[in-house]
Amino acid sequence: MIYLDTSVALAQLLAEDQRPPDWLWERTLVASRLLEYELWTRINVRKLARSHGEAFEDLLGRLAFLELSQPVLARAREPFPKPVRTLDALHLASLEFLRRNGQTVELASYDQRLLQAAAALEVSSVDLTA
């Protein structure tokens, strides 16, 4: 199972310099519900809802979502081995929730700070250059 970070979803939607490999979308992908709201915020800021709305909905349809449940939120309030930003804490707490419930999860992200914080939690990352 691959936990998809917002940076990867944005790269796919906005055709940025870094684009995730096609094989990624054939895998089992999970994300925090937070990703949906992060994407909408970025799309609305750039006024791309009309031009990217359908692609946005298609991308969301490929994901299984983990809600920001009480156990996830409680973990996000606890310290992490490395300093993290608020939204990263929520993503990492979601990842840890999946692992505590027996899931083997890898992180797909272009965000170096998030990748470093995940590595400190012994979460492996997906090589998005392949």
Q: What is the pLDDT of residues 47-63, one digit of tens each?
A: 988 888 788 889 999 99
Asked if residue 42 is part of any domain, the answer here is yes
Query: With contact defined as beta carbons under 8 Å apart, do 4 and 30 qualify?
Result: yes
Q: Which of 4-8, 41-45, 101-105, 124-128 has the lowest mean pLDDT?
A: 41-45
Domain contains 129 = no
Domain assignment of residue 127, yes or no: no
Range of the domain at 94: 2-120
The predicted structure's pLDDT at residue 16: 66
| ∠ Cα 15 41 57 (to 5°) | 60
pLDDT value of position 3: 98
Q: Model pTM?
A: 0.92
pLDDT at 112 over 70: yes
Confirm whether 88 is domain-assigned: yes
Per-residue pLDDT tens digits for 65-81? 999 999 999 999 999 99
Does residue 15 lie within any of the structural domains? yes
> Which residues have CB under 8 Å from 121's CB, separation 6+?
80, 81, 92, 95, 96
CATH number of domain containing 41: 3.40.50.1010
pLDDT at 99 over 70: yes
> Based on the structure, what is the number of domains in the chain?
1
